[in-house]
Amino acid sequence: MPLQLQVVTAERVVYEDEVDMVVAPSLEGTVGILPRHAPLMSVLGIGELRIKKGAEETPLAIGGGFMEVLDDRVTVLADSAERADEIDVQRAEEAQLRAERLRAEGAPADPAIMEAALRRAQVRLKVARRRRNVRGGQPTP
Interacting residue ranges for another protein, rule: CB under 8 A: 6, 8-13, 26-28, 31, 38-43, 66, 68, 70, 75, 77, 79-80
CB-wise, 12 or 36, nearer to another protein?
12
Shortest reach from residue 50's CB to another protein, in Å: 18
Helix (H) or strand (E) holding 106: none
CB-wise, 35 or 56, nearer to another protein?
35
Shortest reach from residue 77's CB to another protein, in Å: 6
Distance CA 96, CA 107 (A): 15
**Class of residue 43 by CB neighbours under 10 A (exposed 0-12, middle 13-18, buried 19+):** exposed
Residues in a beta bridge with 44: 26, 65
> 91-97: which pairs have CB atoms within 8 A and are 24 or more residues apart?
92/121, 92/124, 92/125, 92/128, 93/121, 93/125, 95/120, 95/121, 96/121, 96/122, 96/125
Shortest reach from residue 100's CB to another protein, in Å: 22
CB-wise, 71 or 105, nearer to another protein?
71
CB-wise, 33 or 127, nearer to another protein?
33
Shortest reach from residue 72's CB to another protein, in Å: 13
